[in-house]
């Protein structure tokens, strides 16, 4: 285990079996639709890489990178698009892939944005869900695990850009934040 990690919340084995289960489910749900899978950079990269490989149907992949605006406008949920999609979503079944839904502000903005571009459908699959911190009414269509209100790292999630490559979801030691 990484020396900065206090506790493993979800093991590599648990993540991988959940990803396989979600992959099977999504293969049924999106059979014959050629979904456009949209990964939200950077956190969703490991999840998307594993999940799409667990899907046994034809699909396309694209990516967006977003960042929240400063604290003053955060409650509006407006996000800044750092990298937009390469492809058009018009008439497409879009499946957004996220690492974690926290307040829900980022995703609710993106869902409306893609619907406004005339996607046929926009759904969300997230590995983790922290419903305790929700600020908008957003329920993921597909979810791996609900977790308590703890800051987590690993499997795409970072603290100061580190730990994204850990194969499990962990909780950091307090001393890592305070040093
Ligand atoms: P919302 O808009 O749902 O944003 O608040 C979700 C984004 O917030 C980040 N986030 C976390 N990142 N550990 C992290 O490393 C966490 O526990 C955590 N909670 C939220 C993350 O970037 C996510 O996409
Ligand atoms: Mg982050």
Instruction: Tell me the pLDDT tens digit for each residue of 94-104.
Output: 999 999 999 99
Residue 45 domain-assigned (yes or no): yes
pLDDT-based confidence at residue 67 (cuts at 50, 70, 90): confident
Q: What is the pTM of this model?
A: 0.94
User: Over the stretch 22-45, which tens digit does the pLDDT of each residue have?
Assistant: 999 999 999 999 999 999 999 999
Residue 23 domain-assigned (yes or no): yes
Assembly ipTM: 0.91
Which H, E and C letters describe the chain, residue by residue?
A: CCCCEEEEEECHHHHHHHHHHHHHHHHHHCCCCCCEEEEEECCCHHHHHHHHHCCCCCCEEEEEEEEECCHHHHHHCCEEEEECCCCCCCCCEEEEEEEEECCCHHHHHHHHHHHHCCCCEEEEEEEEECHHHCCCCCCCCEEEEECCCCCEEECCECECCECCCCCCEEEECHHHHHC
Task: Using a CB cutoff of 5 Å, list residues around ligand 2, an ion.
Answer: 158
CATH code of the domain in which 27 resides: 3.40.50.2020
Phi, psi dihedral angles at 32 (to 5 degrees): 60, 25
User: Over the stretch 106-145, which tens digit does the pLDDT of each residue have?
Assistant: 999 999 999 999 999 999 999 999 999 999 999 999 999 9
User: Over the stretch 162-179, which tens digit does the pLDDT of each residue have?
Assistant: 999 999 999 999 899 887
User: What is the Å distance from ligand 2's center to 93 Cα?
Assistant: 27
Residue 27 domain-assigned (yes or no): yes
Is 141 catalytic? The answer is no
User: What is the Å distance from ligand 1's center to 137 Cα?
Assistant: 16
Query: What atom in ligand 1 is closest to the CA of residue 103?
Result: 5
Residue 108 domain-assigned (yes or no): yes
Residue 47 domain-assigned (yes or no): yes
**Residue 71 pLDDT more than 60?**
no
Cβ–ligand 1 contact at 108 (below 6 Å): no
CA distance 77 to 89: 22
The tally of domains found in the chain comes to 1
pLDDT-based confidence at residue 85 (cuts at 50, 70, 90): very high
Domain that holds residue 25: 13-148
């Amino acid at each position: 285990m990484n020396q900065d990690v206090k506790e493993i919340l979800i093991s590599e084995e648990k993540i991988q079996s959940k990803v396989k289960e979600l992959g099977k489910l999504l293969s049924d749900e999106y059979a014959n639709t050629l979904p456009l899978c949209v990964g939200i950079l950077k956190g969703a990269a490991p999840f998307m890489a594993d999940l799409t490989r667990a899907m046994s149907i034809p699909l396309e992949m694209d990516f967006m990178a977003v960042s929240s605006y400063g604290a003053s406008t955060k409650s509006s949920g407006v996000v800044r698009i750092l990298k937009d999609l390469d492809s058009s979503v018009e008439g497409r079944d879009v499946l957004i892939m996220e690492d974690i839904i926290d307040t829900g502000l980022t995703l609710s903005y993106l869902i409306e944005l893609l619907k406004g571009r005339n996607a046929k459908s926009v759904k969300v699959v997230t590995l983790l869900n922290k419903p305790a911190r929700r600020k908008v009414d957003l329920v993921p269509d597909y979810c791996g695990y609900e977790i308590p209100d703890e800051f987590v790292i690993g499997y795409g999630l970072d603290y100061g850009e580190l730990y994204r490559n850990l194969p499990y979801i962990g909780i950091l030691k307090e001393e890592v934040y305070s040093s």
